[in-house]
Amino acid sequence: MLQTILTTIIFIGSFAFVLGLVVFIHEMGHYSVARMFGVAVDRFSIGFGKPIYKRTAKSGTQWVVGRIPLGGYVKFMGDAGAASNPDTERLKKIKTEIDTKHGEQAWKTCLHFKPLYQRFLVVLAGPVANFILAAVIFAGPAFFVGDYKHTPKITSVTPDSAAQQAGFRVGDEFVSINGKTVDDTNTVAQMIELRSGSELSVVVERAGGLETLYVKPVRTEKIDGVGGKYEAGQIGVGFAGPYTHVTFDPMEASAHGVKKVYSSLANTGFYIGRIFQGKEDGKALGSIVKIGAITGKVGVMASQVEGGIGKKIKAMWLSLISLAAGLSIGLGFANLMPIPVLDGGHLMYYLYEAVMRKPLSEGAQEIGFRVGFAVLITLFLYLTWNDTGYVSGMFSKAG
């Protein structure tokens, strides 16, 4: 009974820590740039619902932790809500209301009256902060520990597989895929998994020369590190052998972190592009349910490593902070989607304002926000349905 309670606490705590961290950094991005431009902030909240913690700073900002840890927001002075982007007529009313409530000239600290480029940067700062967090997380271990590369040299070819039919042999070493140089097995695996059903042009080194082979990855069910089932491309080759330890100086580690963030964004964009092309079903995408299940299970698995409490805490920290990097990239990417109510929607409206020299009418914005909200709800329901099969597999005996 005690073990069950402890496991539940670790499971929930792991999820709250990872999600809380990436949301806090996202909102801090908005907040920091806003304050840099002299914007007044009424509230900085992590979570929703009734506050369990509340403090008012000297700047007048109310710092809040809500009971429902599923997001957060920054409320600027004069904002009707997170989706507020008033038109010309509404701006006049807001200006009068602010001066009446806070004193003459107070309107100058309202985000709505700041130059367009400043408003644009305040909104953009949230997703950018998420990307920076991920880059820092990736760079840290690279600098202090280094990285390990596994040469993509084939040590086994599955009989009757796509690879055997394409002519791959044991001893072949991957050089490039579709013209992109590959020098480690992780890169090879990612490119193959994301391209099921599409023919790949693969250059391999064989007996001192180069050979070009053509292979089409087959969509195959796999099980990931936490027991979740997913489908991805596979050609039927295996890699084994020693890893090469690579070290980085501070600049190289920073570049390594940025490169990993870029690679993750590029792969995400590529996958979504394939969804619109009808080449993927989108089941690799997940909602808060999948995120919670993965973070919780990873936290529990890390807490079960052999050793003292110090070793367990270290294992949990390293595992969860690595997950936070991936989730931070996902949150930043999702918020940049051009859907009203998301950061990308705000940026889209600001671009309209830059071109037309005036804000989009409030009526048109309202329609956009309603459509955007409907899209988000539909997407959430679809992703949650996706999650059911994945999560059930995670907690089955096989997973």
Q: Which pLDDT value is given to residue 160?
A: 94
| Sequence-ordered alpha helix ranges (H) in the chain | 2-36, 88-102, 116-144, 162-166, 185-193, 250-276, 288-303, 309-335, 343-356, 362-394
Q: Which pLDDT value is given to residue 172?
A: 94
> Cα(110)–Cα(76) distance, rounded to whole angstroms?
7
The C-alpha angle with vertex 52 and arms to 56 and 34, in degrees rounded to 5, equals 40
DSSP bridge pairs for 180 = 177
Q: Which pLDDT value is given to residue 351?
A: 93
> Cα(182)–Cα(164) distance, rounded to whole angstroms?
20
State the average pLDDT for the chain. Answer: 87
Count Cβ atoms within 10 A of the Cβ of residue 337 and give its class: 0-12 exposed, 13-18 middle, 19 or more buried.
middle
Domains and CATH numbers, the chain: 148-246 (2.30.42.10)
Sites in the chain below the pLDDT cut of 70: 1-2, 80-89, 225-226, 389, 392-399
Q: Which pLDDT value is given to residue 173?
A: 93
> Cα(336)–Cα(348) distance, rounded to whole angstroms?
10
Give the three-class secondary structure for 68: strand
> Cα(49)–Cα(64) distance, rounded to whole angstroms?
10
Which are the catalytic amino acids?
A: 27
Q: Which pLDDT value is given to residue 84?
A: 57
Residue with tokens 């280094």: 146
Q: Which pLDDT value is given to residue 387?
A: 77
Q: Which pLDDT value is given to residue 83?
A: 45
Count Cβ atoms within 10 A of the Cβ of residue 63 and give its class: 0-12 exposed, 13-18 middle, 19 or more buried.
middle
Q: Which pLDDT value is given to residue 395?
A: 64
pTM equals: 0.89
Residue with tokens 């997407």: 379
HSE-CB at 249 with a 13 A cutoff on CA atoms is 1
> Cα(139)–Cα(126) distance, rounded to whole angstroms?
20
